[in-house]
Amino acid sequence: MGAVVGALAATTAGFAPHAAAADAQSKQWYLAAMQADQMWKASTGKGIKIAVIDSGVNASTSSLKGQVLTDEVPKSVAYRVTDDYNGHGTTMAELIAGTGAGGGLKGLAPGAKIVPYRVEFDDLKGGADEKQKTPDPVDAIRAAADSDAQIINMSFGSMGPSSKEEAAIEYAASKGKLLIAAVGNDGEKSGKIGYPAAFPYVLGVASADKSASVSKFSSNGNYVDFAAPGQGFPGWCDATFRSYCDNMNGTSSAAAVASASAALIWSVHPDWTVNQVTRSLIDTAGRSWPADEPSKYLGYGTIRPYKVLEDPDFDAGAAHVDPLGKDNGGDLLANSAAAGSSSSSSASPSASGASQAPEKGSTGGTSAAGSTAESSSDNNTLWIALGAAAAVMVIGGAGAAFMRARRAR
């Protein structure tokens, strides 16, 4: 498939997690900003499984012990799933479901479980034999679609569309899976978004900083659906797992936080379908622009699961009406249900990359590299009550409208 995979972007000094008990968590600024402690009183993501399609997941880190379901990976795609060759997949898993034990990263959904899929990316080492044995992302997507995982996290991307990958995405969508992907780190260059984020039925996630402003590196265009924290916190930066590196910035991390946010919601509402989870994310996202005019940089706004969890009577709308059906080209879940082939396991947990996409899909040629946004000294307000309500982009010294056309098939 030719996926482009690498580090999360900029890194600085490393530090040993065992030497500074809660140091990693103290640098996860968004946990306080998103009121994680309050959310965990209502939901930890328990009962939700998230497929992490990435560079592998090291299940032996202090934060992931007991969190990784290796026995649920089919043998056809189970080659060395816990052998993470660059630390990226393990970081994503910890950001989603890490327990924080031993001073490790604390996941936003620590009650959720990870189903790991180690796939072949451009930086895979080991020669032809290793690459031949390592599954293609397409095979992993299809395997995850057939699994009990409700959410599929894809923090990777490729420069151009693949018909096989698109078919796999549609297959997963028809099974009721929530598909979440990083939009890419090309914001300071072309800004283009890659695949799978640019495919229909995939929620593309951009990165935002502490002020709920779009990160300069975050790709932009008409495939951005949401933004989540993706800047200014630690992550694993190599395969040795001796120390984290600070400031592992990237939309990969943002996608992981978005997947964890969805897990928190789905855990509390196990009878909801993927459409209802998606609609709840749209309805509660922080934005200052109309919901039907998504931003080129932040989509429908910043992810705010707290707004769903605080309302036990939250109305998520119709189960079999895709809130993005017009953009996606139809509701595959509804079509499957009508055909009698929908999977009940995908609607209820009780029944039940890797870098970013650097190309394709941007409307216009404007980069977010020079963007600024009004901010507040109250970060909790920005991420909980207002989201990106003040995020008015200023590009090249002039104000610019940042609405965009939605994705088209």
DSSP per-residue codes, 61-110: STTTTTTB-GGGS-GGG-TTTT--SSSHHHHHHHHHH-B-GGG-PBPSST
Catalytic one of 54, 139, 148, 225: 54
Q: Report the pLDDT value the prediction gives residue 236, as an integer from 0 to 100.
A: 94
Query: For 345, which DSSP code?
Result: G
Residue 169 vs residues 35, 133, 141, 203: alpha-carbon distances, Å = 33, 22, 7, 11
Any catalytic annotation for residue 252? Answer: yes
Beta strand pairing call for 178-182 and 157-158: unpaired
- 130: exposed, middle or buried (C-beta count within 10 Å: 0-12, 13-18, 19+)? middle
Q: Report the pLDDT value the prediction gives residue 334, as an integer from 0 to 100.
A: 61
Over 363-389, what HEC string results? CCCCCCCCCCCCCCCCHHHHHHHHCCC
Q: Match 């028809």 to its residue by tokens.
A: 174
At residue 205, φ and ψ (nearest 5 deg) are -115, 125
Distance CA 141, CA 143 (A): 5
Q: Report the pLDDT value the prediction gives residue 131, as an integer from 0 to 100.
A: 87
Angle formed by the axes of helices 163-174 and 137-145, nearest 10°: 10
Any catalytic annotation for residue 88? Answer: yes
At residue 41, φ and ψ (nearest 5 deg) are -70, -25
Catalytic one of 43, 55, 84, 88: 88
- Tell me, what amino acid is at 298? L
- Please give the chain's pLDDT, 409 residues, in tens: 444 433 333 333 344 444 343 489 999 999 999 999 999 999 999 999 999 999 999 999 999 999 999 999 999 999 999 999 999 999 999 999 999 999 999 999 999 999 999 998 877 887 888 889 999 999 999 999 999 999 999 999 887 889 999 999 999 999 999 999 999 999 998 888 889 999 999 999 999 999 999 999 999 999 999 999 999 999 998 899 999 999 889 999 999 999 999 999 999 999 999 999 999 999 999 999 998 899 999 999 999 999 999 999 999 999 999 999 988 877 776 665 555 444 434 443 333 333 333 222 222 222 232 233 322 223 444 566 544 433 333 222 223 333 444 454 4
Any catalytic annotation for residue 54? Answer: yes
27 CB neighbour count, 10 Å cutoff:
17
> What are 112's strand-pairing partners?
none
Catalytic one of 162, 243, 252, 343: 252
Residues 3-399, CATH architecture: 3-Layer(aba) Sandwich (3.40)
Q: Report the pLDDT value the prediction gives residue 123, as an integer from 0 to 100.
A: 75
